[in-house]
Amino acid sequence: MKTLNNPIYLMVRMIIAFTALGFCLTAYAQTSANYPNRTIRFVVPYAAGGGTDIFARLTAQELSKQIGETVIVDNVVGAAGMVAGALVAKAAPDGYTILVDQASIATNPLLYDKVPFDLKKDLEPVIIGVSLDNILVVNPSLPANNVNELIALAKSQPGVLNYASTGIGSPQHLAMEIFKDKTGTNIVHIPYKGGSPGIMATSTNEVQMFLISVSTALPFIKSGKVRALGNGGPKRSPLLPEVPAISESLPGFQSTNWLALFAPAGTPKPIIQKLNGALQKVYASPSLVEHFKQQGMIVLGGSPTELSNTINRDTEYFGKIIKSAGIKAE
């Protein structure tokens, strides 16, 4: 005890502690200053060829040019994106493992009893890249040429019409439940395993309607296999300017998806800022903006805080219908 209370002993301990702290701060500064200096890995929770994968690969290609380092895309599929999310949440917080995910990451905790990571505690927002409008399409045989006529038809035939979704708890499913709630209609939900089987089912009249991304629906709209009634974005889609926004008939309704990038929690702020800055330049590229536009994607960009605000907005917006309708993902 005498040794512990010895002033010289205490001073030595303080010197050691401050020296260690100095080494840590120096290493932290060097890590941030040298970032990036090796390959960055984009982890995508969905299969190659889908909208999230296309977005990730276009972003990776342009980011690689911007930073002078290789950016690879790794598709880690499973559990509604949660396998990939958990992998990144547990990765080293050094800016070299990045999650590329969609809006459902915000609602999964409300739909599943067990989520293997905490979005707000285990992941760090980097940037929201693009938004994708969903569009409401119907089978051409349906006697409804606009949203108001569809609402009137559904009210006259409660429980007769049905709609496709990309799965229970998907953004499209939740948006259609909000549509039903706002219009007082009874339309039966038929879940499918993805956008392709859902749009095919709509074109063959297996289901009467589908709220799905513009990019997925566009070839079927142009070929006349489905008819577009309303765009789910806040305004008309530049790809289909003749189609009114659903909100023109149903104020306050909105159905959009977004794609964003996340880093593991604890990633140094200077690295987050560097990555965000590089991505801002990527998303300012006119050729990339046009490429995204042809995919039905609208470039957003912005700060990590703006991504956090978007997550909070979606959690509140969809949380109400999830609770009131008792929706649970399977």
Q: What is the DSSP letter of 245?
A: B
Best CA proximity match to 226, nearest among 172, 177, 157, 163: 163
> Identical fold at 39-132+256-325 and 140-248?
yes
Note the pLDDT of residue 9.
Answer: 53
Note the pLDDT of residue 27.
Answer: 44
Note the pLDDT of residue 15.
Answer: 60
Give per-residue pLDDT as tens, 58-105: 999 999 999 999 999 999 998 888 999 999 999 999 999 999 999 999
Residue 225 banded pLDDT, cuts 50, 70, 90: very high
Over pLDDT 70: what percentage of the chain?
91
Q: Which class would CATH give 140-248?
A: alpha beta
| Cis amide leading into 36 (omega within 30) | yes
Note the pLDDT of residue 166.
Answer: 87
**Domain 39-132+256-325, second-level architecture:** 3-Layer(aba) Sandwich (3.40)
Note the pLDDT of residue 12.
Answer: 54
Average pLDDT over residues 277-296: 94
Average pLDDT over residues 130-158: 97
Residue 18 banded pLDDT, cuts 50, 70, 90: low
Cβ burial of 291 (10 Å; 0-12, 13-18, 19+) is middle
pTM of the entire structure? 0.84
- Judge contact between 171 and 81, C-beta under 8 A: no
Give per-residue pLDDT as tens, 226-270: 999 999 999 999 889 999 999 999 999 999 999 999 999 999 999
Indicate the domain borders of the chain. 39-132+256-325, 140-248
Residue 193 banded pLDDT, cuts 50, 70, 90: confident
Question: Which tokens go with 18?
Answer: 């401050």
Note the pLDDT of residue 64.
Answer: 97
Best CA proximity match to 110, nearest among 188, 181, 168: 168
